[in-house]
Copies of this chain bind each other. A is one copy, B any other.
């Protein structure tokens, strides 16, 4: 399940970070957005309602949230440095729309067999993986065919 505003706030405070007005706005914007966001687009969203919040604060907050794994960093489809809200509990992956950057989470995939095979064959100690799918969401498919 995706993190709620309350959960994010609690986790930040539990780790000794203050829950400032600016951080609340940034968290709100990330959670409210269906899309993945770059620092710049996130700043634009936050800036609408809170014109006094600077881009620097966005960077610093993203850094903290990534550190605490409250947000996920996306890579697929060309653009790095895009973020989406994280999940509590489950390990999950992302399906990202190349058109509108919207993100759908999914969990049902198990790599344990593959990881075991890879470990046996390569001798690597596997610490993690990165899996993303990209394509077009239903809405963007319609837009495209409608043109």
Contact = CB atoms under 8 A, between A and B. Distances in A.
Interface of A: 75-77, 80, 95, 97-98, 104, 106, 108-109, 114-115, 117-118, 121-138, 141
B124 A130 contact: no
Contact of A135 (B98, B124, B133): B124
A133 B129 contact: yes
Given A80-B75, A108-B117, A114-B109, A125 B136 contact: yes
Q: Nearest 4 pairs between A and B by C-beta?
A: A123-B138, A75-B75, A126-B135, A127-B135
A76 B130 contact: yes
A135 B132 CA distance: 18
